[in-house]
Chain A
């Protein structure tokens, strides 16, 4: 974009190259932190309004117009809370745990192509990088559960660890199925391929199956209902973040919503054409790409919220049976099917 080009040239004219690139990186990081904060805050509000709509009530609509300042007020409250630490908790790990989840969420956020020129980090192993980053987030949860020195937290963390490790397989495999069609792991390349039709349309049957499996596994990755027995309030208190309060709790809470956004954003990029408009109607205005990306992502986020407020919760053994006995074999068969289709040239080309 012109603004970024101008800032880039201005910086490089001011200082020597090394410092200029460092300053540029810091600026980009700050921009993304802001996006992260704003997105997190408004996703929480969206969840509360959607939940209220399903439950036949109104939801927060007093603080600010239609409740838009509600999460700001909640954030201020959380910041001003006392940071409690239990005496027997392992202090270093206890303080370190929230940072794992947030940093990984931020790093994943930097990869997405919000628009043709609006992409911070276009690495050539894009998809691979994304799945690896989300795996690192599990460490944060396990550390939190262990270092709290609380039986309930430990049970919650163990359950979460098992769940995340199992469902990563399904996420990875279903994305791999789509990579077979694009021939590249780089996110901008994937979007290029979709200029001739979204991948979910190009791949028809295997792509739709891959999408369904991806949505199920993605919801399980983020520990949301119906897979939320990690934080099953009616069973175990609050799971692995029972002992956290104030800002550290806010980190976990925000990270969950950003993870939800990331899962939806990956689905948008790989299945639904990222910033490309349907049937190419607004390709002449490149900046509208951001709008299309956000719209598609928000539809998927709404779908995930709909799951949460409708379905009961699965038990831990039912959850694992679902993954290892049903989703994994289905995924593998789907991958073979997609490979055969690409080989025989049966994909739909527009």
Chain B
């Protein structure tokens, strides 16, 4: 990116700062070019592509089972949900009848993934505004979830547990017991999060009234997930376009109307409570049955176009497949939530200070591999 074009358009007191690809606050390899006047930000321009791995081009060459493995490196904090998105698209295209057992297990692991992602987000959020201890508290709870996943799925981060047709293997016998222990433990820890960070007056002053996003702007920018819900935009895919076992459970969609960083923060904290309630409703009644449905070894989708939306921890992930009947997709597009959420960064950061930019970025909860694909 050429910086002379930026500096040529300057007014006299503006200067240019590069929050480079390696920076403690950008959560990954994101380069931001900031034009600043004193402490006030005039323009934010993201420079992407540092972790672009051309996943979409690779999908045109790989079989559908191989594509599932590529997706968990996109948004690695909700890897299970990414895998599920591709598997659901393929299963709907082939019109497979998925057993209830699979649906319920997928939903439980989805919600555990969501809690794991939000605890990591909370820890890093505290670290970005200066409360360095929250990082360790968030990770302590995330470790328990990672241990449950390791026992059942075999991996802590990139799960690879879903395949088109169901799950790769059945859940471990300890899964139900350990999940229940985790729920009991986490219900006592989540109020601790509120004591440590949410109620702190310094924290509230840093977050309230910062980075305001109105509802119309949220819809126009394509914001989804907690970012949209913090502005009052009801965008939960689990409610509007239900999949897996979400139509069998009752949960609230958390909406806040202020649209500032504190509202987005509160939405995520309350989402963790809702996820706990969803898991509790399902964990005791996992139906018996098969854990997968047989598919052909070489999967060929019938000719046509297929779209599936899921709700990851960041927002709405869309998988769009155009198939011509062969064993590879003709075109595969991933509509990533972070991509649209990043495009509104310039809109909410301009006019604020550098410290506000850091706080706003933390509440957008960006994972750069999700954006770059």
Q: Which residues of B are found within 8 Å of A232, using beta-carbon distances? A: 130, 355
Q: Which residues of A are found within 8 Å of B200, using beta-carbon distances? A: 311-312
A61 at interface, CB cutoff 8 A: no
The stretch of A65-73, A253-261, A315-323 in contact with B is: A315-323
Q: Which residues of B are found within 8 Å of A228, using beta-carbon distances? A: 130
A226 at interface, CB cutoff 8 A: yes
Q: Which of B132, B203, B358 touches A235 (beta carbons < 8 Å)?
A: B358
Whether B128 pairs with A55 at a CB distance below 8 angstroms is no
Q: Which of B17, B135, B140, B202 touches A314 (beta carbons < 8 Å)?
A: B202
Whether B356 pairs with A234 at a CB distance below 8 angstroms is no
Q: Which of B130, B205, B355 touches A225 (beta carbons < 8 Å)?
A: B130
Whether B202 pairs with A234 at a CB distance below 8 angstroms is no
Whether A312 pairs with B39 at a CB distance below 8 angstroms is no
Q: Which of A54, A55, A310, A315 touches B206 (beta carbons < 8 Å)?
A: A315
Q: Which residues of B are found within 8 Å of A314, using beta-carbon distances? A: 202, 205-206
Whether B353 pairs with A56 at a CB distance below 8 angstroms is no
B137 at interface, CB cutoff 8 A: yes
Closest Cβ of chain B to A156, distance in Å, is 12
B354 at interface, CB cutoff 8 A: yes
Q: Which of B24, B132, B358 touches A309 (beta carbons < 8 Å)?
A: B132
In chain A, positions 23-63 with a C-beta closer than 8 Å to chain B are 54-57
Please tell me the number of chain B residues within 8 Å of chain A, measured between CB atoms.
29
CA distance A54 to B133 in the complex (A): 7
In chain A, positions 225-261 with a C-beta closer than 8 Å to chain B are 225-226, 228-229, 232-236
Whether B206 pairs with A234 at a CB distance below 8 angstroms is no
CA distance A225 to B132 in the complex (A): 10
Whether B39 pairs with A313 at a CB distance below 8 angstroms is no
CA distance A309 to B134 in the complex (A): 9
Q: Interface readout for B1-43 with A: 1 if CB under 8 Å, 0 if not? A: 0000000000000010100000011000000000000010000
Whether A235 pairs with B15 at a CB distance below 8 angstroms is no
Q: Which residues of B are found within 8 Å of A233, using beta-carbon distances? A: 24
Whether B24 pairs with A310 at a CB distance below 8 angstroms is no
A151 at interface, CB cutoff 8 A: yes
Q: Which residues of A are found within 8 Å of B254, using beta-carbon distances? A: none
Q: Which residues of B are found within 8 Å of A54, using beta-carbon distances? A: 133
Whether B202 pairs with A311 at a CB distance below 8 angstroms is yes
Whether A235 pairs with B197 at a CB distance below 8 angstroms is no
In chain B, positions 110-146 with a C-beta closer than 8 Å to chain A are 126-133, 135-137, 140
Closest Cβ of chain B to A229, distance in Å, is 7
Please tell me the number of chain A residues within 8 Å of chain B, measured between CB atoms.
26
Whether A312 pairs with B356 at a CB distance below 8 angstroms is no
Residue of A nearest to B355 (CB): A315
Whether B353 pairs with A317 at a CB distance below 8 angstroms is yes
Whether B202 pairs with A316 at a CB distance below 8 angstroms is no
Whether A234 pairs with B136 at a CB distance below 8 angstroms is no
Residue of A nearest to B197 (CB): A312
Residues A312 and B136 in contact in the complex (CB < 8 Å), given A151-B17, A234-B24, A317-B353: no
Closest Cβ of chain B to A278, distance in Å, is 32
CA distance A318 to B204 in the complex (A): 12
Closest Cβ of chain A to B196, distance in Å, is 8
Residue of B nearest to A229 (CB): B355
Residue of B nearest to A309 (CB): B133
CA distance A309 to B179 in the complex (A): 31
Q: Interface readout for A207-230 with B: 1 if CB under 8 Å, 0 if not? A: 000000000000000000110110
Residues A234 and B25 in contact in the complex (CB < 8 Å), given A312-B200, A315-B206, A316-B39: yes
CA distance A233 to B129 in the complex (A): 10
Whether A55 pairs with B136 at a CB distance below 8 angstroms is yes
Residue of A nearest to B26 (CB): A234
Closest Cβ of chain B to A315, distance in Å, is 4
Q: Which of B131, B136, B358 touches A310 (beta carbons < 8 Å)?
A: B131
Whether A235 pairs with B133 at a CB distance below 8 angstroms is no
CA distance A151 to B14 in the complex (A): 13
Q: Which residues of A are found within 8 Å of B203, using beta-carbon distances? A: 312
Closest Cβ of chain B to A327, distance in Å, is 15
Q: Which residues of A are found within 8 Å of B206, using beta-carbon distances? A: 312-315, 318
Whether B126 pairs with A312 at a CB distance below 8 angstroms is yes
Q: Interface readout for B203-224 with A: 1 if CB under 8 Å, 0 if not? A: 1011000000000000000000
CA distance A331 to B356 in the complex (A): 30
Residue of B nearest to A159 (CB): B39
Q: Which of B24, B133, B205 touches A55 (beta carbons < 8 Å)?
A: B133
Whether B202 pairs with A312 at a CB distance below 8 angstroms is yes
CA distance A152 to B36 in the complex (A): 12
Whether B133 pairs with A313 at a CB distance below 8 angstroms is no
Whether A151 pairs with B15 at a CB distance below 8 angstroms is yes
Q: Which residues of B are found within 8 Å of A318, using beta-carbon distances? A: 205-206
CA distance A155 to B353 in the complex (A): 13
Residue of A nearest to B25 (CB): A234
CA distance A288 to B354 in the complex (A): 50
Residue of B nearest to A315 (CB): B355
CA distance A41 to B206 in the complex (A): 34
Closest Cβ of chain A to B262, distance in Å, is 13
Residues A311 and B205 in contact in the complex (CB < 8 Å), given A151-B15, A151-B17: no
Residues A312 and B353 in contact in the complex (CB < 8 Å), given A56-B136, A151-B17, A235-B25: no
CA distance A310 to B354 in the complex (A): 22
CA distance A228 to B129 in the complex (A): 11
Q: Which residues of A are found within 8 Å of B135, using beta-carbon distances? A: 55
Residue of A nearest to B124 (CB): A234
Whether B130 pairs with A234 at a CB distance below 8 angstroms is yes
Whether A235 pairs with B137 at a CB distance below 8 angstroms is no
Q: Which of B126, B130, B140 touches A226 (beta carbons < 8 Å)?
A: B130
Q: Interface readout for A295-319 with B: 1 if CB under 8 Å, 0 if not? A: 0000000000000111111111110
CA distance A56 to B141 in the complex (A): 12
In chain A, positions 142-159 with a C-beta closer than 8 Å to chain B are 151-152
Whether B129 pairs with A313 at a CB distance below 8 angstroms is yes
Q: Which residues of A are found within 8 Å of B17, using beta-carbon distances? A: 151-152
CA distance A57 to B140 in the complex (A): 11
Closest Cβ of chain A to B124, distance in Å, is 9
Listed residue (A54, A151, A311, A316) with the most chain B CB atoms within 10 angstroms of its CB: A311
List 8 additional contacts besides A151-B17, A235-B354, A314-B202; criterion CB under 8 Å: A55-B136, A226-B130, A234-B127, A234-B358, A235-B355, A310-B133, A312-B129, A312-B206
Q: Which 6 pairs across A and B sit closest by C-beta, in order of nearness?
A: A313-B130, A312-B129, A55-B136, A312-B131, A312-B130, A234-B25
Q: List 6 A-B contacts (CB under 8 A).
A: A229-B355, A235-B354, A312-B126, A312-B130, A312-B200, A314-B205
CB within 8 Å of A: which residues of B?
Answer: 15, 17, 24-25, 39, 126-133, 135-137, 140, 196-197, 200, 202-203, 205-206, 353-356, 358
